[in-house]
């Protein structure tokens, strides 16, 4: 019996995207689809290096995503707006310049996507838009606003960015609700 021909890394990744994606989605999550573990088992290598290289070569597109990354065939990844487009989206509400606080609040309102109530400070492009518009680091301003109760900020476990919400719109954990029920009766 003839030994089965081993796929190249490129062939493996392209087949994985085509065969593991579920309609209507065009890409696969590297962790949740099982791709990373399958790649490690097949090649005895780290998939991150291979997918990064394939993306640099234009063979696939990679987008950072909660808990890992999304892999897409070329031309199928969601398009990211430019920093200038993000700024235009945030400040388009009037002719005058926005203050830092107004920019943060408008940024949350205009960059969030239904059904989500908040934005990821990095992946939404907010941090870069803030830096470009004010030539300042957004962390200082958003941290101050959160401490004053003007926004809600939830740090992410991976340490890359935070989630920003308008007051009262941040997620409430089940434990919080359960504790309130027990306390209030």
24-33, 63-72, 117-126, 139-148: which range is least confident on average? 63-72
Chain mean pLDDT for the chain: 88
**Tokens at residue 47, please?**
């998939």
Per-residue pLDDT at 158: 67
The full DSSP string for 105-142 is HHHHHHH--TT-SSEETTTTSHHHHHHHHHSS-HHHHH
**Tokens at residue 27, please?**
């890409």
- Rounded to whole angstroms, the Cα distance separating 170 from 19 reads 36
Buried b (16+ CB within 10 A) or exposed e, 25-34: ebbbbbeebe
The answer to whether the CB of 151 falls within 8 A of the CB of 164 is yes
Q: pLDDT (tens digit, 9 = 90+) per residue, 86-122?
A: 888 898 856 678 999 999 999 999 998 878 899 999 8
Per-residue pLDDT at 3: 57
- Rounded to whole angstroms, the Cα distance separating 30 from 43 reads 15
29-43, 100-114, 127-141, 155-169: which range is least confident on average? 155-169
Q: Is the pTM of this model over 0.75?
A: no
* First vs last C-alpha separation in the chain: 71
**What would the mean pLDDT of 8-32 be, rounded to a whole number?**
92
Q: In the chain, pLDDT over 70 holds for what percent of residues?
A: 93
**Tokens at residue 25, please?**
């989605």
Per-residue pLDDT at 1: 43
Strands (E), the chain: 28-29, 61-65, 68-72, 119-120, 152-155, 162-165
Query: Which domains does the chain carry?
Result: 9-72 (1.10.10), 83-174 (1.10.10)
- Rounded to whole angstroms, the Cα distance separating 144 from 160 reads 19
pLDDT band at 164 (very low <50, low <70, confident <90, very high): very high
28 bridge partner residues: 71
**What would the mean pLDDT of 25-49 be, rounded to a whole number?**
93
């Amino acid at each position: 019996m003839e030994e089965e021909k081993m796929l190249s890394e490129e062939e493996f990744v392209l087949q994985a995207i085509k065969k593991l994606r579920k309609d209507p989605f065009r890409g696969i999550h590297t962790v949740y689809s099982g791709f990373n573990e399958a790649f490690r088992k097949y090649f005895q290598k780290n998939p991150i290096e291979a997918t990064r290289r394939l993306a640099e070569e234009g063979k696939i597109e990679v987008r950072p995503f909660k808990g890992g990354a999304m892999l897409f065939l070329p031309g199928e990844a969601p398009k990211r707006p430019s920093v200038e487009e993000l700024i235009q989206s945030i400040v388009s509400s009037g002719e005058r310049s926005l203050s830092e606080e107004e920019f943060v609040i408008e940024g949350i309102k205009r960059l969030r996507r239904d059904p989500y109530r908040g934005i990821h400070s990095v992946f939404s492009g907010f941090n870069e838009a803030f830096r470009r518009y004010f030539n300042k680091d957004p962390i200082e301003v958003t941290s101050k606003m959160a401490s004053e109760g003007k926004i809600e900020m939830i740090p992410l476990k991976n340490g890359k960015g935070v989630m920003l919400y308008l007051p009262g719109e941040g997620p409430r954990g089940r434990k919080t609700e359960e504790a309130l029920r027990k306390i209030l009766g």
